[in-house]
Structures are given as C-alpha cells and as structure tokens.
Amino acid sequence: MNDITHKIFTRRIAVAEALVQVGDPRTIQRIESRQIPKGDVFEMAKAAGLLAIKNTAGVIPDCHPLPVEYAAVRSAVEGMTIRIEVEVHTVYRTGVEVEAMHGAAIAALTMYDMLKPVDKNVEIGHVRLLRKKGGKSQFTDHLGLGLKAAVVVCSDSVSAGKKDDRAGVAIQTRLGDHQVMVPHYVVIPDEPEEIRRAFLRFTGAEPVDLLLMTGGTGLSPRDVTPETIAPLLDREIPGIMEAARSFGQDRTPYAMLSRGVAGMKGRTLVITLPGSTGGATETMDALFPYVLHLFRVAQGMRHDAG
C-alpha cells in the first residue's frame, strides 16, 4: 500500500451510486409489496452495502483500512430503474471513494441476486462516484498564486562548512511541490544579530510572502531563533506551530521539545522550523498547503470559500 503517514487527518465524504435495471414492470411491484421470494430487496441490499463499506480494505488490495464514521445506503425506484446511493464519512488521512463505490456495487449485486429468479432481464447499470469532499484537493485553491519565499538556514555547522544543509533543501523541495517560488536561500550562523538581520531583510528591505527559518528551535544554548524572532512579529499565530507539534508528536515523542514560533510581520508570514531534516520535513507536511490559505483570507476570501 502507498505510504500515507505524511498526510493529515481531515473530514472526508464520498457519495457513489449504482443502477439496477429490471426487465419486467411487475418486478418493481413485487419489490415494493415485499413479494420477492428471497426477502426484502431494499433491506437486504442496505445490509450488504453496509457490510461491504466496512470490509473494503479486506478485498481491495491497495485500499487502506480506515474508520467509517458514518455510512448510509439509500434506494429509490425511478421507472424501471432502482437507483442506489451510498454515502460514507470518515476523519482520516485518505478518502472513502472506494468504500462508497464498493458499497454501491455490492448493494446492486445483492439486488441482482435476489431478483434474477423472478426477472431474467435484470441487469446492473453503471457504478460511479457522484462527489467527494475533503483531503488535500479541497485546500489547493491557492496554487498558482505566484507566492515567493525565502528560506534561511540557521546553523553554526552549516555556515562553517562542516555540515551539508539538508533541511533547507527539503523545505525548498516542498515549497516547489506547492508552486511557491524560492528566490532567496541563505545560510547564517546561530547568532541573534544574524537572525535579526535576515528577518528584517525579508520582511522589510526585500519582502517576500513567506519567510521560513530552519534551525535554532531546540533547547541547546545556541538555539536562539524563537527568542530572536518572537519580539519582531506584529502578530503571532500560535495555531500554526501547535498544528506542527501535534503532527510531529504522533511520529516522534520529541516533537514537544520544539520551540518554533510563527506569525505575521507586515504582509510576510514567518515560520520557524526545526533544523533536523526529519523535523523540517514533518513540519512542512503538517502545514502545507493548508497554511497558504492565509493569503486568500488576507485578500478578503472567507475561510469556507474555495
């Protein structure tokens, strides 16, 4: 199965449908009057569809097991056709499209099995996804805005040439994945004055939309990035780093020790990230592309618009 551990939990909804077409008008009458020998077609199809939804991962090889928080199987007669609609909700890292379609398909197959003894011309029509909601695709309306970022690596060892920078490179790669341009990449030592100078450059003299500073968020004596940056912000945004630490804590017990801060300076969003490659990558996975919605809100768009 694909690795989805880098994804965040979101509420996800999928609705699918299947069609069952009968060949004899009397079949519909027998269904509605509960005269099918094998039992109540609608109730049996509903039960089968619910079981299918919950057991999708057991029969679809690359489908991830996930918690089904809500499921509904609804049937309606439309002329000579029975339309089955299946709706599935979850709060998880991956969507429930396959679960919804599997439920619809099995509900339709159950109807077929129950009706074929009395109607030799019954057949299953299409099974299709009607709509879905949630996941990364719902939060990517910002892509292509032409946002510009500066990546500043705060590290004594990297600036002295004793160590290769990997965290900054990983951050640039992630930004590129979200179509954010990175015209500035700077490496500086863990000195408060150097950090302050870089901050003022990219929020004042050469302002960018995003300033990402990696390194110096831990607890060693030379880790001074949060203390240097926090007093310079116009408005801190605590939820950004709360989300990052929560995401990281699910993957390593040491994420709680990160002291990163985030906030606005003028029109620039400033985020401080851990200096380790893993910590920087996980922070990017936790925050992007979702945090970029901030720039749409700043333009007057509502949070629920997209």
Contact 258, 274 (CB under 8 A): yes
Fill in the DSSP letter of residue 139. Answer: G
- Active-site residue, 113 included: yes
107: nearest Cα among 131, 130, 129, 83: 83
Helices (H) and strands (E) in the chain, counts: 11, 10
What does the block give as tokens for 282?
Answer: 């996980």
* C-alpha–C-alpha distance, residues 188 and 194, integer Å: 7
What Rg value do the Cα atoms of the chain yield, rounded? 27
Contact 242, 283 (CB under 8 A): no
Termini Cα distance of the chain? 30
Query: From the candidates 3, 24, 40, 113, which is the catalytic residue?
Result: 113
Residue type, 129: L
Q: Which residues participate in catalysis according to the annotation?
A: 113
